[in-house]
Amino acid sequence: MRLVVDIRKKLGSFTLSSAFESEDMITGLLGASGCGKSLALKCIAGIETPDEGYIELDGRVLFDSRKGISIRPQERHVGYLFQSYALFPTMSVRKNIMTGVHSIRDRAERRRRYEAAVELMQLEGLEEHRPYQLSGGQAQRAALARIIAGQPELLLLDEPFSALDTHLKDSLQVDMKRLIARLGKQTVLVTHSVSEAFRLCSRICVMESGSIIRAGRPAEVYSNPMAEGCAKLFGHRNIFSFRKDGGLIVIPELGISLEKAEAVPEGADRISITDAAITAGGTIRVSTEDVLSESDGNNLILSLGGKRSLWWKSSLCSVDSISIDTARCVFLG
């Protein structure tokens, strides 16, 4: 199944301009809060209408502004899991799930789908519970059961783990991945968590200010973020402007020059100095401004004499000189 999205929508001063294609089992829209992830998801579902663009699911056009096509949400065969799960508070689990099949006229078919969803989501014994009587994981399963009963062609998951306690997330993410594989449904997942995206997604689209700035397999995007916004999302802390001067890379903000790596990508004008690129001892004199201790080591804040400091995750508590290997740095453009 193939999903094609190329849409634009303006809300006040914010503009969503999102374009991606996916045939992967789980595609992640990854980015900080307010970057447009959920808005893109709502446009795919038909909850929001783009100002212009095109959305296609498995050869079926859901939206085409040029041809005046905008299929109603209930006719798109898309299942949307809201961040809050949106269970009806006055209804039991049974009645909540049954709302997912209310449009099916055949009573026996409605019952069959309901029972299949309850069994799949392991909700036996909870059918008469109200949402307030459910744990976070149970509420998520009930909301998914309602969606699955409707047999959607595409699943849209909007921050499905954000409302859960940290200790629940790991096991529920594993359960979610297994469920989607069992259903064989293409899925788009919205998340701001890098670790969540890497665990669940076979492809990620990194969003910033309404646009996708990087897309690809998680490992390749992580190793080569290309864009500064993408690098910051992955935890890169030492990003500086640089210029080339013969065989050197000059970083004015740090007041240093480094030997150039074998190949600096064309158009790159910023360098991310990773923890792996820094070693203690060398020709660059530093002073330790501060040490922030953590369970897995120390964050050393180093002064090199420039306007900005350099952060380094290390087992050391202090250092007076370092070396930086540009081959282990990441270049951004």
Tens of pLDDT along 201-236?
999 999 999 999 999 999 999 999 999 999 999 999
Cβ atoms of 101 and 112 within 8 Å: the answer is no
**pLDDT tens per residue, range 132-142:** 999 988 999 99
| Alpha helix segments (H runs only) across the chain | 37-45, 93-98, 107-120, 136-149, 166-183, 194-200, 218-223, 228-233
CA dihedral 302, 304, 310, 315 (to 10 degrees): -40
**DSSP for 81-149, written as a single string:** E-TT----TTS-HHHHHHGGGTT---HHHHHHHHHHHHHHTT-TT-TT--GGGS-HHHHHHHHHHHHHH
Q: Is 63 exposed, middle or buried (0-12, 13-18, 19+ CB in 10 A)?
A: buried
Phi, psi dihedral angles at 292 (to 5 degrees): -110, 110
- Using an 8 Å Cβ cutoff, are 76 and 83 in contact? no
Domains of the chain, first to last: 3-233 (3.40.50.300), 239-332 (no CATH)
Quote the pLDDT of residue 166. Answer: 75
**What is the distance between the alpha carbons of residues 58 and 78, in angstroms, rounded to a whole number?**
12
The residue length of the chain stands at 333
pLDDT of residue 164 exceeding 80 = no
Residue 103 pLDDT: 86
- CA 258-261-266 angle, to 5 degrees, is 110
- DSSP structure class, residue 253: T
CB-based burial label for 322 (10 Å; 0-12, 13-18, 19+): buried
Is the pLDDT score of 167 beyond 80?
no
Query: For 2-10, what is the mean pLDDT?
Result: 96
Contact (CB, 8 A) for 189 and 201: yes
Query: 61-112: per-residue pLDDT in tens?
Result: 999 999 999 999 999 999 999 989 999 999 999 999 999 998 889 999 999 9
**Per-residue burial over 176-201, b = 16 or more CB atoms within 10 Å of its CB, e = otherwise:** bbebbeebebbbbbbbbbbebbbbbb
pLDDT in tens, 64-78: 999 999 999 999 999
Judge contact between 180 and 204, C-beta under 8 A: no
Query: Which has the higher per-residue pLDDT, 165 or 314?
Result: 314
From residue 122, alpha-carbon distances to 85, 286, 324 in Å are 17, 58, 53
Q: Using alpha carbons only, what angle is made at residue 218 by residues 293 and 77, rounded to the nearest 5 degrees?
A: 125
DSSP-derived 3-state class of residue 174: helix
pTM: 0.89
**pLDDT at 283 > cutoff 90:** yes
Cα distance between residue 36 and residue 260, in whole Å: 37
pLDDT the model gives residue 25: 86
Give 277's DSSP letter: G
